[in-house]
Every structure is written in C-alpha cells, then in structure tokens.
Amino acid sequence: MLKQKASPESVILQEKEQESIAQLAQILSRESAQLKLVESNGKEIIIPPSVYKLLGQVVGAMASGQAISLVLHNRELTTQEAADILNVSRPFLVKLLEKGEIPYIKVGSHRRILFQHLMTYKQQRKVQRRQLLDQLIEMTEEAGLYEEGI
C-alpha cells in the first residue's frame, strides 16, 4: 500500500464562487436540512450527519472569508509545519520538543510530530493561558486596580 504524503492544502474562496458559497452556507446552517448527492445516473445518496456537520463548518468558514486546511489526525508533521500551526518559530518548537512538552519521533535525523499530539499541546496551552488570565484578573481586583463599569 502506498503511503501518500499528505500536505495540508489551503482552499481560498474565489470571487466567482462567493454567491454559491453564501447560499450553501445558508442551507447548511438549517438544522432540519437533509442534503443529498445526486449521481449522474440519478441515484441519490443522503449525506451522513458527521459529513454534514463538517461540511457546514467548512462552508461557513469559507463564506466568512477564511482559508481552509484539512489535516489528518494521524499525520506526521515536520517541525516547520508544526511551528507554523502554533505560530511560533521552528527553533522555539524544537526547544519544546527537547524539553518533552510535545511528544515526537525521529525519522533519521528529522523530528516528526503527530498532528494529534500538537493539537493536545495547543489545547493545554490555551487552558493554561485562560487560568493565568483569570488569576491575573483576580489579583488585580483584590488590589483594587480593577473597577467594573469603567
């Protein structure tokens, strides 16, 4: 079995597609809608709920002007791809890897990070930031430096 090298491909809405995408987003936003694909021979296939939900998210993001990239959960990322996803420099990411904050494997001399491990780290970092922000707000309120209504 051939192993495909999956590179995240970004899809950006073209101007000529805007109206169609907006209409599709409106249809997909209706919870009661049930979409079907119709083959050239007329055979109809109902779109499963999981695909419907994903399609709605993708089309909604496109309708609001965002670029879309799909990455498989078990995909191995290069250090540069992982750094780009976290919006950090590659050397900073390598330091995180060497400190053991994100699991990785070595393929020859190259480090590879599983997408799911990177997303776990990203979520943990988000939670930690929220906790630290809450603590900072609490300290500011206790010190009388934060007043509501200002």
Domain that holds residue 100: 76-142
Q: Give 138's DSSP letter.
A: H
Q: Are residues 93 and 130 in the same domain?
A: yes
Domain C-terminal end among 31, 52, 69 = 69
User: Does 81 reside within a domain?
Assistant: yes
- Kindly report the pTM of this predicted structure: 0.57
Question: Which residue would you say has higher pLDDT here, 88 or 146?
Answer: 88
The total of structural domains in the chain comes to: 2
User: Does 57 reside within a domain?
Assistant: yes
- What single-letter amino acid sits at 97? L
**Mean pLDDT rounded to a whole number for the chain:** 84
**Residues 75-121: pLDDT tens digits?**
899 999 999 999 999 999 999 999 999 999 999 999 999 999 999 99
Q: Six-digit token pair at 92?
A: 């900073």
State the pairing for strand pair 68-69/44-46.
Answer: unpaired
Q: Are residues 65 and 95 in the same domain?
A: no
> For position 149, what pLDDT does the model report?
59
Domain C-terminal end among 69, 99, 117 = 69
Residue 95 sits in a domain whose CATH number is 1.10.1660
